[in-house]
Structure 1
Amino acid sequence: MQQAEGFTAPGRAPMLVVRWKAGRVHVSQDGIKTWCGAPVPAGATRTVPTVDWHQHTNCYNCAYRLWPLHAPPGYLRPVNGQDFPIRRACSHSGDPRACTTCTLRPPRNWPCTRGCTDQRDHQADRRYTQCTVFPPRQPTGPGGRCIQGCESTNRVLHRANPGMFFDLADSDSLTCYHCGLYVCVGCEAVPVASTLTLCDACP
């Protein structure tokens, strides 16, 4: 049994990696007790002392207790027992799971019916894709209302982009795409005087 002695300095201090019980890999400072508090059994498999303990362990409690003094530079502290192997931090936002450059989220509207080849442009955090069609706006009259009739932004965009999903604001169903004034909350086409108002034809 190999013993690890004198490992008290902070930072990248050598540690023993100990394995037992269905592949659970713990970290020990002295080969007798793990950092999570469990005694090391006689039949456990031990490695030589190593400074890259974070690349071997899958014990959340060991990592949690080691982190304040022995956190490996450039790595992210695990947040639960499934957060293994321990992940490297990215250079963009720190956590690669929240970084759209390092981690692609499930795309919307993919494959693109318009022939796009950039899957990143269709990520769920994009309000509009580059291939979104925006119809030309109609002229307005002296009172600011549309000459040819109003229609909500929601209706206009979905008609111009069939099959596409848009994460639109609530106001896009209440205001006209062309003149920007209020439309009926029901049919989204008849001009009304105030927001959240139904026209005479809508019940």
Structure 2
Amino acid sequence: MTVVVWRNGKVHVSADGLATVCGATLSPTTGRVVGETTDWAGQVSCFNCAYRHTPEGYLVPRSGKDFPLRKECSKHRGQAAGQCSSCNPETIKPQCWPCPNGCTDPKAHDPLYRYTRCTVFPQRRDVPAGERCAEGCQSTESALRAANPRLYLDLADSAMMTCYHCGESVCVACQREPVEGSLMLCDACGRREAEPSES
């Protein structure tokens, strides 16, 4: 692989010496050929070159900040060598720490799990199967956030559409009124959405 330093200082790579991997044609006025090497991953700084031709054993860059390219963990794809959370669980930072619920165990805040072990789950109402809440519905999201006001919760999208108590669909806007299916608005929220906004 040929390493090329462009006029602006960006380091590109070329497979044939005629054009860079990102598609630019090489010429004496645009870039200076440094030489051929197999160890170009530590030198390249062009995102498009690195993204299109990431060498084996390195992580594909996600942005212009991912340079120099990082080596990939040999056991777990997509994880950086030396920073792999599967190989080095102590590198995982607990989420929402210190705990606003008074928990003193950082392991209870493992970010690999949706809920921390100290998450407070409010009491569910006793609703007969197949029936709706007689006292009005409440989405899973609003119920859990009310019970854990300062705790970070990584909730599924369905949490805002499903009643915490009866498990049936609720309005995605107010998260209280029962509706017939997912991603639906109740009559009141539907009317508000239809009203022209004031300019």
Q: In structure 2, do the counterparts of structure 1 residues 108 and 150 end up closer, same or farther at CA, with 3 Å as the change threshold?
A: farther
Compute the RMSD of aligned alpha carbons: 5.2
The Cα of 1:55 is off from its aligned counterpart by 1.8
Q: Is the 8 A contact 1:34 1:62 kept in 2?
A: no
The Cα of 1:51 is off from its aligned counterpart by 1.8
Check if 1:24 corresponds to 2:34.
Answer: no
The partner residue of 2:117 within 105, 130, 133 is 130
Q: In structure 2, do the counterparts of structure 1 residues 34 and 105 end up closer, same or farther at CA, with 3 Å as the change threshold?
A: farther
DSSP 3-state at the match of 1:54: coil
Q: 2-side partners of 1:187 and 1:76: how far apart?
A: 41
Counterpart AA for 1:162: P
Check if 1:73 corresponds to 2:50.
Answer: no
Q: 2-side partners of 1:143 and 1:75: how far apart?
A: 52
The Cα of 1:74 is off from its aligned counterpart by 1.6
DSSP 3-state at the match of 1:158: helix
The Cα of 1:17 is off from its aligned counterpart by 3.6
Q: Deviations over 1:114-150 (max 9, x none)?
A: 3452497347xx5433321113334457996779x56
Q: Is the 8 A contact 1:76 1:89 kept in 2?
A: yes
The partner residue of 1:95 within 70, 78, 92 is 78
The Cα of 1:113 is off from its aligned counterpart by 0.9
Q: 1-side partners of 2:59 and 2:129: how far apart?
A: 60
Greater radius of gyration (CA): 1
Q: 1-side partners of 2:61 and 2:180: how far apart?
A: 51
Check if 1:85 corresponds to 2:74.
Answer: no
Q: Is the 8 A contact 1:35 1:61 kept in 2?
A: no
Q: Is the 8 A contact 1:18 1:44 kept in 2?
A: yes
The partner residue of 1:117 within 94, 106, 124 is 106
Q: Is the 8 A contact 1:134 1:157 kept in 2?
A: yes
Hey, what does 2:27 align to over in structure 1? 39
Q: Is the 8 A contact 1:56 1:85 kept in 2?
A: yes
DSSP 3-state at the match of 2:143: helix
Unaligned 5+ residue runs, structure 1? 1-14
Q: 1-side partners of 2:6 and 2:128: how far apart?
A: 79
Q: Deviations over 1:139-193 (max 9, x none)?
A: 457996779x565234432232122354354565652x3444577885838xx69
Using the size of structure 2 for normalisation, the TM-score is 0.50
Q: Is the 8 A contact 2:12 2:46 kept in 1?
A: yes
Q: 2-side partners of 1:187 and 1:119: how far apart?
A: 29
DSSP 3-state at the match of 2:41: helix
Identity between Structure 1 and Structure 2 (%): 36
Unaligned 5+ residue runs, structure 2? 189-199
